[in-house]
Amino acid sequence: MSDDVLCSVNQHGTATIALNRPKALNSLTYDMVRVIGDKLLEWKTDDNVAVVVIKGAGSKGLCAGGDIKTLYEARSSKQALHDAERFFEKEYEVDMAVYRFPKPIIACLDGIVMGGGVGLTYGASHRIVTERTKWAMPEMNIGFFPDVGAAYFLNKAPGYAGRYLALTASVIDGADVLYMNGADVYMESRALEQLMKKLEHTNWNHEKVKEKLNQIIKEFQTEPPQESKLSSYQKEIDYHFRFDLLEEILQSLESAGSDFSVNVKKLLLSKSPFSLKIALKQLADGKQKTIEECFAKDLLLAKNFLRHRDFYEGVRSVLIDRDQSPNYEYRHVSDVSNDAVNQFFQHSIGADL
Ligand code: QUE
């Protein structure tokens, strides 16, 4: 339990947080986010800590998201529902703490970085991707919504790329993550390992930390071997995803009839119509919101999804029964009323359940 996240500080001032549930792709539990939050709070003012590294243990990557299997239990008991709410509260609080952290945080986006893993590291000062990076906001696959501040950070992507990534739950590579402003630096996975060793052996005590860190990272940094694929679709993405109504996006994709539009439309029609409409409004509204407002809205939406059948259907179909055939509440996007969508944003549904 307490080994699920390994935290250490070495004698030279490098602190490390290693997510350590490799069999579950380092997916985040309440205890893990609580420990991370406690450590960041402690290290913020600890003069023995100059820089913080966030990485994943094992070979698969940083983190696949939240511990969805435990969250799934929220459907069957009041206590589990309460625990699930507590998880989201703590998770978002810790994500925010990373944004606000006054010292450099180096995030190793090596291998799988999805959902909660993105949320935990988006606010880091030095986000490093590699040839192994598999990045996604995959919540549309489980009848949920892109949380952990996505309404803030997906709007930092060029044009409407953030909407495309959220609604399709596309998995992208390191070059694409750089392109959508989700990372700062590219290097080979082998170089990242060497960088980690170098950071551990650097004595930060007598250094201008930021200058020294940037200089070290430059030694290992390279250019991605290929151009961003996402960038090559930017024109089409912007053309189809500029609409604030899901029906208009689907209509636009239908009319175009290109390979891209046919595939994207098919992808969208495989998702929960309700989740799609919530996510689109969330991202459209998010453009005008501060990061704090985005997280506050995420908490309301997460609590409402914990009381919505599509979330449990989605998780069941992907992670429990693995039949990939969810039976969502609404069959067609036109079945989802504006009222049903707006309600989800205005108050918590059945909070006294
Ligand atoms: C969408 C998601 C998640 C997902 C799959 C999706 C997610 C998540 C996991 C996951 C994967 C492996 C595990 C685990 C969880 O899968 O958030 O415990 O062992 O954590 O399609 O959002």
Predicted confidence (pLDDT) at residue 353 exceeds the cutoff of 50: no
Task: Report whether pLDDT(352) > 60.
Answer: no
CA of 65 to the centre of ligand 1 (A): 6
pLDDT at position 351 is: 54
Q: Is the CB of 139 under 6 A from ligand 1?
A: yes
Cα(252) to centroid of ligand 1, in Å? 31
Residue 263 has pLDDT above 90, yes or no: yes
Residue 67 CB–ligand 1 contact under 6 Å: yes
Q: Is the CB of 287 under 6 A from ligand 1?
A: no
**Mean pLDDT score of the chain:** 96
119 catalytic? Reply is no
pLDDT, residue 347, reads 80
141-196: pLDDT as tens digits: 999 999 999 999 999 999 999 999 999 999 999 999 999 999 999 999 999 999 99
308 CB-contact burial (10 Å; exposed 0-12 / middle 13-18 / buried 19+): buried
Take atom 22 of ligand 1 and give the residue whose Cα is closest. Answer: 139
- Give me the percent of the chain exceeding a pLDDT of 90: 96
Q: Where are the alpha helices (DSSP H) in the chain?
A: 30-44, 68-72, 78-100, 116-121, 150-153, 161-168, 174-179, 189-201, 209-220, 229-232, 234-241, 246-256, 259-269, 273-286, 291-305, 309-315, 338-346
What one-character DSSP code corresponds to residue 347? S
pLDDT at 220: 98
pLDDT score at 206:
79
pLDDT of residue 348: 79
**Among this protein's residues, is 147 annotated catalytic?**
yes
Q: How sure is the predictor about 33, in pLDDT bands with cuts at 50, 70 and 90?
A: very high
pLDDT digits (tens, 9 = 90+) for 301-315: 999 999 999 999 999
Does pLDDT of 1 surpass 60?
no
Confidence (pLDDT) at 104: 98
Question: What is the predicted pLDDT for the residue at 350?
Answer: 65
Domains annotated on the chain, with CATH = 1-353 (3.90.226.10)
DSSP-assigned letters across all residues of 193-242:
HHHHHHHHH---TTS-HHHHHHHHHHHH----SS--HHHHTHHHHHHHHT
Displacement of CA 190 from its chain's centroid (Å): 24
**Does the pLDDT value for residue 134 go beyond 60?**
yes
Question: 137 CB under 6 A from ligand 1?
Answer: no
Q: Is the pLDDT of residue 340 over 90?
A: yes
